[in-house]
Amino acid sequence: MHEFFRVAWIIVKKDLTVEVRSREILYTTLFFAISCVLVFAVAFVREGAALTEAGAGILWIAIAFAGTLALGRTFERERHTETLRALLLAPADRPAVYFGKLVGIVALLAATELILLPLVALLFQAPLLGRPLLMGLLMAAGTIGFCAVGTLFAAMLVRARSRDVLLPILLYPITIPVIIAGVRGTLALLEQVPNEALARFWIALLVFFDVVFVTLSLWTFEPLMTE
Amino acid sequence: MRRMFLPALFVAAAMFAFAPVYVARAPFESTMGLVQKIFYFHFPSAILMLTSAIVSGVGSAWFLARKRPSADRLAFAAAELTVLFGLLTLVTGPLWARKAWGVWWQWDARLTMSLLLWMIFVAYLLLRKYGGPGSETLSAGLAVFGMANVPFIYVSVNVWRTIHPKTTVVPTLPVDMSAPLWFCFAAFALLYMTLLTARMRLEEQRSQLEQLYLEIED
In 3-state terms, chain A is what percent helix, strand and coil (to 5)? 85, 0, 15
Distance of CA A160 to the CA centre of its chain: 22
Instruction: Report if residue B29 sits inside a domain.
Output: no
CA A170 – CA A154 distance, rounded (Å): 10
What integer is the mean pLDDT of B155-168?
A: 82
What integer is the mean pLDDT of A215-226?
A: 86
* Side chain identity, residue B55: V
> B137 and chain A: CB distance < 8 Å anywhere?
yes
> What pLDDT band is residue A227 in, cutting at 50, 70 and 90?
low
Closest-CA residue of chain B to A155: B138
Instruction: Report if residue B163 sits inside a domain.
Output: yes
Q: How far apart are the first and last CA of chain B?
A: 36
* % of chain B surpassing 70 pLDDT: 100
For residues B37 and B100, the answer to whether their CB atoms sit within 8 Å is: no
> B66 and chain A: CB distance < 8 Å anywhere?
no
Cα dist from B27 to A110, B19, B33, whole Å: 58, 14, 9
**Host domain of residue A112:** 2-225
> What pLDDT band is residue B139 in, cutting at 50, 70 and 90?
very high
> What pLDDT band is residue A142 in, cutting at 50, 70 and 90?
very high
| Size of the A and B interface in Cβ pairs below 8 Å | 65
Residues in A touching B145 (Cβ below 8 Å): 149, 174, 216
Residues in A touching B146 (Cβ below 8 Å): 174
Q: How many CB atoms lie within 10 A of CB B5?
A: 14
> What pLDDT band is residue B1 in, cutting at 50, 70 and 90?
low
> What pLDDT band is residue B135 in, cutting at 50, 70 and 90?
confident
Per residue in A89-138, pLDDT (tens digit) is 888 888 899 999 999 999 999 999 999 999 988 888 888 777 888 999 99
Which has the closest alpha carbon to A52: A136, A130, A112, A114?
A130
Given an 8 Å threshold on Cβ–Cβ distance, is B137 in contact with A161? no
Beta bridge partners of B33: B29
pLDDT at A212: 92
Q: Is the pLDDT of residue B206 over 80?
A: yes
What integer is the mean pLDDT of B76-91?
A: 96
> B116 and chain A: CB distance < 8 Å anywhere?
yes
What integer is the mean pLDDT of B23-49?
A: 88
> B131 and chain A: CB distance < 8 Å anywhere?
yes
Tally of domains in chain A: 1
Residues in B touching A216 (Cβ below 8 Å): 144-145, 148
pLDDT at A226: 66
Per residue in B103-129, pLDDT (tens digit) is 899 888 889 999 999 999 999 999 999
Q: Which site among B137, B150, B152 would you substitute to test the A interface, given the most A Cβ atoms closer than 10 Å to its Cβ?
A: B137
**Host domain of residue B108:** 2-24+35-217
pLDDT at A47: 75
CA A129 – CA A138 distance, rounded (Å): 12
Which has the closest alpha carbon to A188: A95, A53, A45?
A53
What ipTM does this complex have?
Answer: 0.86
DSSP code at position B131: S
Residues in A touching B65 (Cβ below 8 Å): 223
pLDDT at A182: 93
> What pLDDT band is residue B24 in, cutting at 50, 70 and 90?
confident
Q: Which site among B115, B142, B162 would you substitute to test the A interface, given the most A Cβ atoms closer than 10 Å to its Cβ?
A: B142
Tally of domains in chain B: 1
User: Could you tell me where the DSSP H helices lie in A44-93?
Assistant: 52-80, 83-89
Residues 11-50 of B with CB under 8 A from A: none
